[in-house]
Structure 1
Amino acid sequence: MPKLPISALPLPTSARILTHNLTPDTATALIASAFRDVLKESPSIQRRSRLLDSGCHFSRVTPLPLEFPYRIAPPEDGKEVEDKEEYVENWLSSHEPLEERSLASTPSPGVLKKYSCAKRDGMERILIGLSDTCLRDCFPHLAVGDAFVELDTPTLSMKDPGGNDLFETPRRKVAGDQAAARQELVDVLSGHSVLMSIDGSEPGYTPWSLRYSGHQFGTWAGQLGDGRAVSILETPHPTSPCLSYELQLKGAGRTPFARSADGLAVLRSSIREYLCAEAMHALHIPTTRSLALVHLPKLEVYREEVETACVLTRVAPSFLRIGSFEALNPPERQRMVFYGGGGQQDANWDALRVLGEWVAGPGVLNLGLKEGEKWGKALVFESARRNARMVAGWQVYGFMHGVINTDNVSVMGLTIDYGPYAFMDIYDPMHICNHSDSEGRYAYKFQPTMIVFALNALLRSLAPLIGAEEELGSAVKSGWAADASPEKLEEWRAKGLSLEAELKAEIERVFEEEHWKLYRKRLGLTELNPSDPDELIHPLLALMRDYKLDFHSTFRKLCFFRPSKFNDPESSKAFIENLLVPSTSFEGDKEKAIKDLIEWLQKFATRISAEVKTAEDEEKREKAMLRANPRFILRQWLLEEIIKRVQDDVHVGKRALAKVHEMATKPFEPWGAELKVSEDSLTPEEKEERRYCGMGSTKMLGFQCSCSS
């Protein structure tokens, strides 16, 4: 298929474009062409924290990664400013993308034009990460030019096979179309240049940020929204045109939802999300994706300390959340209770209908309903099933999200908003990965419960509409609640909320089914045996907890367990002692631990023998387990190390970052020459790979990350 620069990527049909089907913020222009006037005359409206009109779903906004509060210098001639408001608007306008720029060479330019401005040209922007896996899966038609040449060879060791130091290798100079395509990609994905259609040919196209509300740590927070995320483009997959992907810049500057924040993201948190989203996809857990990282080294960001900015490009078919629905029908009794939010509008029943029809349709969930068919209940239950399967994957692979607020839960059942996440080290079902979660609301054990809470919030938001549809026997239409009395609305709400028990049961059913299926896969079991949870899986997890075994390496070691060799005392003893050798020194009753492990392994051997009859079967089982149990996992210690390597020297660190990305996207490979016993025969690179597959320093076990990013 032909490769196209980012400016030439096609848009979906109008029926699949979010901004053509949902309602824009009236203050930032109802139609795209009017947005040009906003950028010229009143650009502050898109940066000013405010409540949007109750019927709006999104606000038009351009990326603008700048320090905040903005450093607006007085006039150079020293004259006093008479109209300060006008002066500020002019200053902001001078930073808006109003100058049309030439496109990267292409035989078929797209419908969008590229805009920037002279004030943005001084922004230093360095591409430090580009995901080949996201490109392959989502944008196989995107031309990235010589981007991978710029990023250089992935490596951890920075030493050649002879142990000599490697310095940054001279880049192969690439000219012409290759360099132009790469530079355009970096410009657009850094927020320097903006792709728009604002020349008057409606419906046009502009970037946008979503409005949503939500519950944060169980407390109603009012309007939240994309405070530092700007969606810049949608494009259909070239071989599956019914599937479109949305590109969103995280850390691209303030929006109307930024509240008192700067709208930026730091290098540290951007690296964490960039790596983890692709790692989760490699583990077959539903997730948003990561495309690129662009470092802005001259842009300072103030958190606990002064850091530098970075823009992450993340990708999903849709970034709509449960909070998108909560914004349109907030909980009455909690209307005035806010946890970091900025107030809340009243319910808007027609905006709720419009959003629901969009989500139920081909643009998002694609429920396949006929025209006029009820969709409210179907939407809630489909979102519930998707989220149940997602959280089952979290639990089986020891992933902890850290902040499962309702504004961080995708209606599509995608893992979204990677903040203080962690993967389990020593198995502890009560582990809390977010140091801001003092009460342990989002501890590993409670994650399925929190997904039930989030889906109940979705049901509560749609309950009156679901009740109205039940009464009508068909989908509601425009103005469906305009003449409804408070009593009628309450009647509809009660009818919708009567589904709570059924919803909870459906989430639990799907979760249990997926949960035990994935655990059987990790244990190499292909046949469904109802006794497996009680006889094998729960007891194994209890052994991990009681004897402080590493969650991931234990499963990986079990890949090499052969029942046929278990009767050999020497082999079985060596295998069991190997299970008890995580990098934490085991100080418990070793004899009891060995006895308990032998007892469990005997049950495991008996269960395997029911399926495995020959040596060939054993080989197949081992290979299947190796494809289900990662050798490499994104542990906290290595994330901290790779972040520091990039912070210390971005040009060298990006090569190590690329190698960690490669390992994270191929987690089942035998990194570090896994089966070699002696390290003497390993290359410097293999030694580093092996180290990165280990548990690291005991000081980092149970490390809790901050929400600050």
Structure 2
Amino acid sequence: MMKPLVFDNRFIRELPGDRITDNYTRQVSDCLWSAVQPTPVKQPSLLAYSAEVASLLGLSDEDMHDPDLVQTLGGNGALPGMFTYATRYGGHQFGNWAGQLGDGRAIYLGELVHQQRRFELQLKGAGETPYSRRADGRAVLRSSLREFLCSEAMHHLGIPTTRALSLVTTGEPVVRDMFYDGNPEFEPGAIVCRVAPSFIRFGHFELLASRNESALLKRFIGFTIDRDFAEWWPGTGLLLDVDNPGQGMIEAWFTEICARTAIMVAHWMRVGFVHGVMNTDNMSILGLTIDYGPYGWIDNFDPSWTPNTTDAQGRRYCYGRQPDIARWNLERLAEAFATLLPESNGLSQGLSHFDTVYFDALTSALAGKFGLDSWQAGDGEAINDIFELMQRAEVDQTLFFTHLRQLDISNPQLSVLQQAFYTEQGLQQFGDDIQAWLQRYSLRVQQSTLSAEQRQQRMSASNPVYVLRNYLAQEAIDLAAQGDNSRLLTLLQVLRQPYTEQAGMQQFAQKRPDWARNKAGCSMLSCSS
């Protein structure tokens, strides 16, 4: 039998909730959450779980198979101490203000406390809420499996992220129009239990500011700093009035948010991750990667690539624009805070701090990827040159770097990189230019203070061997839909050690196969889930 879990639900205890308790779609005002219960499902079944996240929460492997917990993770009831609710927020979507959004299919289970650490638990796909916006509150297996796997993969890559405890199938079909082409189909339903210290987003603050709920905005800022930045704010030397935080505290806090966001995006760029939907309601106040929808990893290097079919024309959220969009989103958050601080210069300084932190984080990451001891004048030009060649020659980003570390600096040969080319044409047309660049690169490395072994170690720590390419996730989805979770569990295991070559796992370190270039789910994806 499971030991009792400890919940301390500060969010619903200290912040105002919706006065209406009926569950129907509506505009909500003067509060931050609405009480709502998950919609029960027929037959919840545990498909996979993260042992590491379970341990963080004080749950054993035996606990994860406890029937009461499995039922709870499937949305059927709640354990003692839990309180189920959805939160209210707004956001800018694809550059336009969308008004109230909120948790349309994510339902909180409360705030679990274990070993003096606080974790919010959230079921995604557990049914309708007052914020569901013409949807059924459910999620399908394909999107749920992708979120479960990617949450854990990103953590093991060393990237700030929300986590995933479990993936539960519901035993019920869900109707989705995957391609938005008027041909909806039944798909297996599933629920992910997401875990994070906080799921608060930029959009929570934006909505309060847009509705002129200034007193609540101040109170919410104070609450968030006190609860979610408890290890940070005492070091500022500033006093925190939780109900009425001062201008200096808000400005310092915004600067910290900018720094965390910059570091997160620099990590995305380092490994070739593309979020796909960087709306302000998908931006974490803690600088965590949040809301894994139509994400993807760069296969053949292309800064203009987006995994999101909805973004195929504008490419607002393509790989190369992610730093700019992150800053744009921070500007929107600054505008929300400026409603309380109309004469503040500190918010502008926070945005400048984003620029500085991002540049430092990115150049450090690039130095690591290329095995350089430091960033020097001229490195930027050389790196831009090879990225341009990689794009023109259609070279796989992940394989380029895992093979580059094997280069003999005293005798650099293009053959080391041959497996990274997607086409023979690219190799033939641009091979000489890349060979010339390798000569130039080798001379730069020879000036380094790093030994050959140190260079390889640095590159190995910066360049993953295994990333969750879309076609790998799709293979796991196809099998799981047939009741076979073997590929899912194998990927979960492989992605726990992404920087280490693992015996017998070479198939997961290959470039995208030709059959996956245009196959649904293997390159671009829709927001349908």
Q: Scaled by the length of structure 1, what TM-score is found?
A: 0.69
Q: Quote the residue 1:636 is aligned against.
A: 470
- Cα distance in 2 between the residues matched to 1:605 and 1:584: 24
Q: Quote the residue 2:240 is aligned against.
A: 371
List aligned pairs for 1:517-528, cutoff 5 A. 517-528=364-375
- Cα distance in 2 between the residues matched to 1:622 and 1:444: 26
List aligned pairs for 1:544-563, cutoff 5 A. 544-563=390-409
1:516-553 alpha-carbon deviations (Å, 9 max, x no partner): 11111122223342432223x22221221121110000
Contact 1:144/1:182 (<8 A) preserved: no
Contact 2:74/2:168 (<8 A) preserved: yes
Q: Is residue 2:73 matched to residue 1:193?
A: no
Q: Is residue 2:510 matched to residue 1:690?
A: no
Contact 1:425/1:701 (<8 A) preserved: no
Contact 1:144/1:185 (<8 A) preserved: no
Contact 2:406/2:416 (<8 A) preserved: no
- Cα distance in 2 between the residues matched to 1:378 and 1:436: 36
1:546-590 alpha-carbon deviations (Å, 9 max, x no partner): 2111000000001212313x1xxxxx44xx124133362231472
Aligned length: 509
Q: Quote the residue 1:34 is aligned against.
A: none
For residue 504 of structure 1, what is the amino acid of its counterpart? L
Q: 2:98 aligns with which of 207, 221, 224?
A: 221
Q: Quote the residue 2:181 is aligned against.
A: none
Q: Quote the residue 2:357 is aligned against.
A: 510
List aligned pairs for 1:492-641, cutoff 5 A. 492=342, 495-496=343-344, 501-535=348-382, 537-564=383-410, 566=411, 572-573=412-413, 576-582=414-420, 584-588=422-426, 590=428, 593-612=430-449, 617-641=451-475
Contact 1:301/1:309 (<8 A) preserved: no
- Report deviation, 1:426: 0.2
1:295 match: secondary structure: strand
Query: What is the percent sequence identity of the aligned residues?
Result: 33
Q: Quote the residue 2:496 is aligned against.
A: 665
Q: Quote the residue 2:15 is aligned against.
A: 22
2:48 match: secondary structure: strand
- Report deviation, 1:435: 0.5
- Cα distance in 2 between the residues matched to 1:269 and 1:602: 44
Contact 1:60/1:207 (<8 A) preserved: yes
Contact 1:432/1:443 (<8 A) preserved: yes
- Cα distance in 1 between the residues matched to 2:228 and 2:239: 15
For residue 188 of structure 1, what is the amino acid of its counterpart? T
Q: Quote the residue 1:134 is aligned against.
A: 53
- Cα distance in 2 between the residues matched to 1:371 and 1:364: 11
Q: Quote the residue 1:177 is aligned against.
A: none
- Cα distance in 1 between the residues matched to 2:420 and 2:455: 24
Contact 2:40/2:77 (<8 A) preserved: no
Q: Is residue 2:340 matched to residue 1:456?
A: no
Q: Quote the residue 1:143 is aligned against.
A: 60
CA 1:398–1:694: 2 relative to 1, 3 Å: same
- Cα distance in 2 between the residues matched to 1:302 and 1:542: 39
Q: Gaps (5+ residues) in structure 2?
A: 178-183
Q: Quote the residue 1:233 is aligned against.
A: 110
- Cα distance in 1 between the residues matched to 2:84 and 2:188: 24
List aligned pairs for 1:140-289, cutoff 5 A. 141-145=58-62, 147=64, 182-197=66-81, 206-238=83-115, 241=116, 243-289=117-163
Q: Quote the residue 2:180 is aligned against.
A: none
- Cα distance in 2 between the residues matched to 1:270 and 1:541: 33
Provide the aligned C-alpha RMSD in A.
Answer: 2.1
- Report deviation, 1:255: 0.6
Q: Quote the residue 1:50 is aligned against.
A: 26
- Report deviation, 1:133: 2.9
- Cα distance in 2 between the residues matched to 1:701 and 1:425: 10
1:413-465 alpha-carbon deviations (Å, 9 max, x no partner): 11100000000000001112101012111111111111111111111111021
Q: Gaps (5+ residues) in structure 1?
A: 29-44, 67-122, 148-180, 198-204, 331-345, 468-491, 567-571, 674-685
- Report deviation, 1:501: 4.4
1:41-66 alpha-carbon deviations (Å, 9 max, x no partner): xxxx12x001112x201111111146
1:447-488 alpha-carbon deviations (Å, 9 max, x no partner): 1111111111111111021x2xxxxxxxxxxxxxxxxxxxxx
1:237-277 alpha-carbon deviations (Å, 9 max, x no partner): 41xx1x31111100000110002100000000000000111
- Cα distance in 1 between the residues matched to 2:455 and 2:77: 51
1:233 match: secondary structure: strand
Q: Quote the residue 1:682 is aligned against.
A: none
- Report deviation, 1:628: 2.2
1:327 match: secondary structure: helix
- Cα distance in 1 between the residues matched to 2:93 and 2:333: 14
Contact 2:150/2:468 (<8 A) preserved: yes
Contact 2:299/2:512 (<8 A) preserved: no
CA 1:134–1:559: 2 relative to 1, 3 Å: farther
2:465 match: secondary structure: coil
Q: Is residue 2:518 matched to residue 1:704?
A: no
- Cα distance in 1 between the residues matched to 2:443 and 2:67: 60
1:285 match: secondary structure: coil
Q: Scaled by the length of structure 2, what TM-score is found?
A: 0.91
Contact 1:563/1:605 (<8 A) preserved: yes
1:312-333 alpha-carbon deviations (Å, 9 max, x no partner): 0111100000000011011xxx
CA 1:327–1:622: 2 relative to 1, 3 Å: same
Q: 1:396 aligns with which of 270, 294, 310?
A: 270
CA 1:124–1:588: 2 relative to 1, 3 Å: closer
Q: Is residue 2:321 matched to residue 1:446?
A: yes
For residue 318 of structure 2, what is the amino acid of its counterpart? A
For residue 52 of structure 2, what is the amino acid of its counterpart? T
Contact 2:106/2:122 (<8 A) preserved: yes
CA 1:700–1:25: 2 relative to 1, 3 Å: same
Q: Quote the residue 2:225 is aligned against.
A: 360
- Cα distance in 2 between the residues matched to 1:534 and 1:61: 54
For residue 144 of structure 1, what is the amino acid of its counterpart? D
Contact 2:277/2:293 (<8 A) preserved: yes
CA 1:24–1:532: 2 relative to 1, 3 Å: same
- Report deviation, 1:642: 1.0
Give the structure with higher Rg (CA): 1
- Cα distance in 1 between the residues matched to 2:252 and 2:73: 36
List aligned pairs for 1:92-103, cutoff 5 A. none
For residue 142 of structure 2, what is the amino acid of its counterpart? R
- Cα distance in 1 between the residues matched to 2:426 and 2:445: 29
Q: 2:281 aligns with which of 407, 416, 441?
A: 407
Contact 1:133/1:665 (<8 A) preserved: no
For residue 610 of structure 1, what is the amino acid of its counterpart? Q
